[in-house]
Structure 1
């Protein structure tokens, strides 16, 4: 992205975004100069961060394939980030065409991009929700309309829980998200 491109309302391209920085680490194009500058500072501190991001993406792909092979057909990707290659829905639908995916994020630019990319895909829904409010996430009307919560659901929390500064709070989020799900989830 360039700063002279039309920027959606509510997006400040001068303020770095974790989602856009992650996109930069993966070699994506959906990032601004502020994101690249911040990402470069992180690279100075953690030279392997690009490899870590790619390894995380590869792991997500393997996990979704394994879950689909085990019979899971419903996925909730929390903190999805910007759409990139081999997204959860692509991997899940390749393995099991009847799969359903809900993408969850609270970053406005992620929501705009994901909704535009997936507008014509009836197997996916993109919702605006915050993992720190797990009840509102699982009770979201679009999630409830899209998934059958009487069947197993895989809740994916990739590269997101480390943004919760308190380990106890992170554990409560995981417990709150998993408690209402049926066995096999």
Structure 2
């Protein structure tokens, strides 16, 4: 129906998260219609990003410099490490402007079903950073999924002998949340993690 270049564009767009075949076709058509003002600048930006952006050898963040701008920032508390699953989680924490320490990106979670073990994640880098000293606390900010919980427990076992306190993000009722809208697991976690008023 379409030329091979258009079909390839649609197939590649369809691999992006949140874009199925229909959405990929709509995006491709929009890009083709706005070739000069959108498609060509996007192509240049993608090419520049692919050339310049690389993972930080310290924490795993993506940046154009190594170490990344977060690791190199002297105003950040080097004694606090927040462990996240992916760079998107790091970006979410930074967007909220709630953490002034440094990060460690695991690159995913442990998953027996997907064949992802400790060697496939950046756990060795975290252990190295903790063993080098100077870390006062490691905050585990993995998602509240089965794989996220499994990863958190594994990290607790591996870091247990380090003497560094290991904490976990709280789970439960979100701010502004209503009890009758919560799922059973969230409600149970919130009840177990209750605290004094």
TM-score between both structures, scaled by the size of structure 2: 0.30
Q: Which has the larger radius of gyration?
A: 2
Larger RCO, structures 1/2 (Cα 8 Å, 6+ apart): 1
TM-score between both structures, scaled by the size of structure 1: 0.31
